[in-house]
């Protein structure tokens, strides 16, 4: 291998390539120098240094200006490719650093058919279209594990905090509604009380907010006698609704689930002496996660929900 030639090629710098490309575009070293606000002598010397390093003449020079040689056309084509890639590199680095590009993974165990989470994700994607937005729906336990091992950047979940070591941002709260078949006896009522659920079967998905629903049932119906039976199914939220439409039970849902329409189902507000029950939502992330895309997401949450009020 021609070691001196390799060393000479390594000495080529980006400024030399930019000067040569500019001279080719304007057909004149003097005009390129004027456009770039560089002295003619500096630009001319830079191009001659490039030709010396490459061992070829890039331009034919005349009183009328410069014209690329056959070898020069190949050099300039590659120079443009190099400069384009460098520009992409700089832009990507800057946008990543500002949280305007990159990847953000969001985990949740609630619906995004309607409500605040759907609106937040939509606004985030509109504001930062270059960021790859990945979403994961899993059980709370799996989500907490994914957050700990770093495969998920942020969780937006209702109910209990997955881990006391996380940074927690309280967001909004949603009403809890009863989902039931349209021919269910309770469907004729505009409002349903917790005591009306005695002897009913509550269907819960493992992907849903089941534990909070069960705790709420226990707090509203203190006596175990006549308390609804809770059936947990390892199926999606949509399958649970299908089972409800088959009159196999009723379900508790959040307001964010109202955007998913299923034939044969109706939704009724649950009430007690204090009004309609609600449940808190919060965002959780690891304190050591320095992903700029996460920072921009948290800033958006702070803008949308600056003074969250607990449902308690």
Question: Is 185 inside any structural domain?
Answer: yes
pLDDT tier at 308 (50, 70, 90 boundaries)? Answer: low
The 10s digit of each residue's pLDDT in 24-69 is: 999 999 999 999 999 999 999 999 999 999 999 999 999 889 999 9
CATH number at residue 60: 1.10.10.10
Question: Is 309 inside any structural domain?
Answer: no
Q: How many structural domains is the chain composed of? A: 3
Tell me, yes or no, whether 21 and 42 share the same domain.
yes
* Pairing outcome for strands 167-181 and 278-285: antiparallel
Tell me, yes or no, whether 288 and 212 share the same domain.
no
Question: Is 36 inside any structural domain?
Answer: yes
Compute φ and ψ for 205, nearest 5 degrees.
-90, 145
**The tokens 């204090």 sit on which residue?**
274
For residue 4, the SS3 value is helix
Tell me, yes or no, whether 138 and 180 share the same domain.
no
Tell me, yes or no, whether 229 and 108 share the same domain.
no
Question: Is 28 inside any structural domain?
Answer: yes
Domain holding 283, by residue range, is 103-172+279-304
Given a cut of 90, whether residue 300 has pLDDT beyond it is yes
Cα separation of 248 and 261, whole Å? Answer: 18
This prediction has a pTM of 0.63
Residue 164, class by beta-carbon neighbours within 10 Å (0-12 exposed, 13-18 middle, 19+ buried)? Answer: exposed
């Amino acid at each position: 291998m021609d070691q001196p030639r390799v060393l000479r090629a390594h000495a080529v710098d980006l400024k030399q390539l930019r000067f040569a490309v500019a001279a080719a575009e304007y057909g004149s070293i003097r005009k390129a120098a004027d456009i770039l606000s560089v002295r003619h002598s500096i630009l001319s010397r830079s191009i001659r240094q490039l030709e010396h390093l490459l061992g070829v003449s890039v331009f034919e020079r005349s009183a009328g200006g410069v014209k690329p040689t056959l070898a020069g056309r190949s050099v300039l084509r590659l120079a443009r490719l190099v400069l384009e890639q460098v520009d992409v590199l700089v832009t990507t680095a800057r946008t990543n650093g500002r949280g305007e590009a990159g990847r953000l993974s969001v985990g949740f165990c609630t619906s995004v058919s309607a409500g605040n989470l759907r609106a937040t994700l939509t606004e985030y994607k509109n504001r930062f279209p270059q960021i790859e937005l990945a979403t994961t729906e899993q059980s709370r336990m799996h989500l907490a594990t994914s957050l700990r091992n770093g495969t998920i950047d942020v969780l937006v979940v209702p109910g209990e905090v997955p881990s006391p070591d996380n940074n927690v941002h309280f967001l909004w709260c949603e009403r809890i509604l009863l989902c039931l078949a349209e021919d269910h006896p309770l469907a004729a009522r505009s409002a349903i009380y917790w005591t009306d659920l005695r002897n009913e079967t509550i269907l819960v998905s493992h992907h849903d907010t089941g534990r909070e629903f069960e705790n709420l049932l226990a707090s509203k119906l203190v006596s175990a006698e006549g308390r609804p039976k809770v059936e947990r199914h390892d199926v999606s939220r949509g399958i649970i609704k299908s089972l409800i439409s088959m009159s196999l039970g009723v379900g508790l849902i959040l307001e964010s689930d109202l955007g998913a329409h299923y034939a044969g189902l109706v939704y009724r507000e649950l009430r007690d002496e204090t009004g309609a029950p609600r449940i808190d939502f919060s965002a959780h992330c690891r304190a050591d996660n320095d992903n700029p895309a996460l920072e921009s997401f948290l800033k958006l949450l702070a803008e949308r929900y600056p003074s969250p009020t607990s449902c308690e």
